[in-house]
Amino acid sequence: MAKTTLIDTTARAGDLAIDARAVNSKEARALYKKREQIYPKLAQGFFRNLKWAAMVVLLGIYYVTPWLRWDRGGGRVDQAVLVDFEGRRFYFFFLELWPQEVYYITGLLILASFAIFLSSALFGRVWCGYACPQTVWTDLYIYVERAIEGDRNARMRLDKAPMSLSKAGKKVSKHLIWILIAAATGGAWVFYFGDAPTLFRNIFTGQADPTVYLFIGILTFTTYALAGTMREQVCTYMCPWPRIQAAMIDKDALSVTYRADRGEPRGAHKKGDTWEGRGDCIDCRQCVAVCPQGIDIRDGDQLECINCALCIDACDEVMEKVGRPKGLIAYDSYANLERRQQGKGARYKLIRPRTILYGALMTIVAALMIYGLATRHTLSLNVIRDRSPPFVRLADGSIRNDYALKLINMTDQPRRVQISVAGLDGARLLAPALNAEGNVVVDASADAVTNVRIHVVAPPGVSTGSHDLSFTIRDSATGEVATSESAFLAGGAP
């Protein structure tokens, strides 16, 4: 494959132009093409600042969250957000979920899906451009790269230069810092699964579980590989979202758009020349130079484009210098592009059936989840019938069935509950401690499952076969009730 010169020193439009080749542009795309290194130039402007801000906030959330404390009292877990596999609990500030309540997580995921659908229908790939971990970490890695090796041109020169002590030093220190960031990424991840301060100490004293080191290792590797060396290939080849994206975006969705109607015909422009009869695009290729995906936005909406909006910043800067209005590249819709070409004005339709549907679905899911949380049961009962023996015949002719009851108390206070049984005439509950009414009273331990073995005895003459039986537990203090259905079996003559 012929190598193309990456740097062309012949300027096209004064000092503004740069001969940046879009390595992933339409023309350059080929089935068997090898990856070409992309050297994104630093853009400056509103969207770059927005991305810096997003990076700080998102990384802040990621790194700080496990260290937040939340007092649950009584020597209990005090980490605000914790996935406790060993104790089978998920702690989230005031919430403490049990494994059987995993549907709240499902609800959260459904909500997140609709949120990304809605954001796509409104503003295109904002998730990809600002919030996706791949974008955030790649941005961070490019920041480090730029700090050590310099901006686009310096980096390109460095890569072409023969190996020297200074080049080796720069490369080694860059990769070292990348690995450190990667390790810190994996290192922070494990804090969500164990007490952060304890784990922190254990990691550095070598006392943490091998699994912890394994996960730090895996995430160090993936962070280093994905953000350091694979970058745009993750978005283009590995991520399924760009394929789904097409279904989420319609003509009215805003996405980073080159306004061809205004820009074309493009061409170099010398100071003092007239702007009559030509487009505003001076073909300076600054939009290409800043693109982390190696594409030319002027080719139109593309699968590779993550809508990071850095080309908007680059273009606005140039437009300001040449004295033309900003916004040659801007968030715009395909519909507007067409309307302008037909001589009509732009029209922004954010409220469309699609966005209303996504919004409504989000509202419904959110409402269901809030309702579920507000009316969440903190007491529940599971009944497991002993299957061997299926029933026991007693000396006086009565029949006994045995049950294992699991009293689930999700509060952090012990609760006294009364067990009763219904559905079988004359059935008696037998267990260690019988109260006056014949109902068994048991102390259900705080935040735990209490096992109770219960015998139910039916009087002699109970008909052969299976009888429906329902167990009820009732918190004598709050009146909260939980019921579980089971069966009572009686056999025929011996």
Partner 1 sequence: MADRERDAVSGTETTGHEWDGVKELDTPLPRWWLYIFYACILAAIIYWVLMPAWPIGNGYTKGVLGFSDRNNVAADVSNLRSARAPMYERLAAASTAEIAADPALQEFARAAGESVFGDYCRTCHGAGGAGAPGYPVLADDVWIWGGSLADIEHTLRVGIRSGHPEARNSMMPAFGRDGLLTPQQIGDVTEHVISISAARTRLDPNSAAATRGAIIYQEQCAACHGPSGAGDRTLGAPSLNDDLWLYGGSRTEIRRQIELGRGGVMPAWESRFDAGTLRALAYYVHEMGGGEPDAAPVPATTETIAPEPAQNGQATAPLN
* DSSP character at residue 162: P
Nearer to partner 1, 31 or 163 (CB): 31
- Report the SS3 class of residue 197: helix
Is 396 a residue that touches partner 1 (CB under 8 A)? yes
Q: Which token pair is 451?
A: 């096992």
Determine the Cα–Cα distance for residues 101 and 490; give it in Å rounded to an integer.
35
- CB 208, min distance to partner 1, A: 23
Start-end of H helices in 224-259: 232-233, 241-248
Determine the Cα–Cα distance for residues 48 and 171; give it in Å rounded to an integer.
26
What are the phi and psi torsion angles at 421 (to 5°)?
-130, 145
Tell me the site size for partner 1, rule CB under 8 A. Answer: 33
Q: Which token pair is 182?
A: 């990667």
Nearer to partner 1, 329 or 442 (CB): 442
What are the CA-CA distances from residue 460 to residues 148, 189, 469 (Å)? 89, 62, 17
- CB 391, min distance to partner 1, A: 9
Residue from 435, 464, 466, 476 in contact with partner 1 (CB under 8 A): 435
What are the phi and psi torsion angles at 135 (to 5°)?
-70, -45
- CB 440, min distance to partner 1, A: 9
- Judged by CB under 8 A, the chain residues 252 through 271 that form the site for partner 1 are none
Nearer to partner 1, 333 or 398 (CB): 398
Is 36 a residue that touches partner 1 (CB under 8 A)? no
- CB 493, min distance to partner 1, A: 5
Strands 415-422 and 440-444: antiparallel
- CB 188, min distance to partner 1, A: 28
Q: How many CA atoms lie within 13 A of 451 on its CB side?
A: 5
Residue from 427, 457, 458, 489 in contact with partner 1 (CB under 8 A): 457
- CB 471, min distance to partner 1, A: 16
Is 431 a residue that touches partner 1 (CB under 8 A)? yes
- CB 444, min distance to partner 1, A: 11
- CB 428, min distance to partner 1, A: 8
Nearer to partner 1, 346 or 394 (CB): 394
- CB 215, min distance to partner 1, A: 21
Asked if 304 and 293 touch (Cβ cutoff 8 Å), the reply is yes
Is 479 a residue that touches partner 1 (CB under 8 A)? no
Residue in 256, 252, 249 with CA at minimum distance from that of residue 348: 252
Is 2 a residue that touches partner 1 (CB under 8 A)? no
Nearer to partner 1, 207 or 451 (CB): 451
Nearer to partner 1, 278 or 406 (CB): 406
Residue from 75, 86, 433, 479 in contact with partner 1 (CB under 8 A): 433
H/E run at residue 385: strand 379-385
Determine the Cα–Cα distance for residues 428 and 457; give it in Å rounded to an integer.
5
Determine the Cα–Cα distance for residues 95 and 288; give it in Å rounded to an integer.
48
> Residues 397-426 vs partner 1: string with x where CB under 8 A?
xx-x-x------------------------
> Residues 376-395 vs partner 1: string with x where CB under 8 A?
----------xxxxx-xxxx
Determine the Cα–Cα distance for residues 34 and 485; give it in Å rounded to an integer.
64
What are the CA-CA distances from residue 220 to residues 16, 56, 136, 162, 188 (Å)? 40, 20, 15, 30, 11
- CB 386, min distance to partner 1, A: 6
* Stretch of residues binding partner 1 (CB under 8 A), selected from 118-126, 159-167, 369-377, 446-454: 446-454
Determine the Cα–Cα distance for residues 29 and 84; give it in Å rounded to an integer.
47
Nearer to partner 1, 51 or 400 (CB): 400
Q: How many CA atoms lie within 13 A of 287 on its CB side?
A: 28
> Residues 63-82 vs partner 1: string with x where CB under 8 A?
--------------------
Counting beta carbons within 10 angstroms of the beta carbon of residue 329, is it exposed (0 to 12), middle (13 to 18) or buried (19 or more)? buried
Q: Which token pair is 422?
A: 């219904």
Is 430 a residue that touches partner 1 (CB under 8 A)? yes
Is 12 a residue that touches partner 1 (CB under 8 A)? no
- CB 251, min distance to partner 1, A: 36
Determine the Cα–Cα distance for residues 257 and 255; give it in Å rounded to an integer.
6
Q: Give residues in contact with partner 1 (CB under 8 A).
A: 1, 31-32, 386-390, 392-398, 400, 402, 428, 430-435, 441-442, 451-453, 455, 457, 493-494
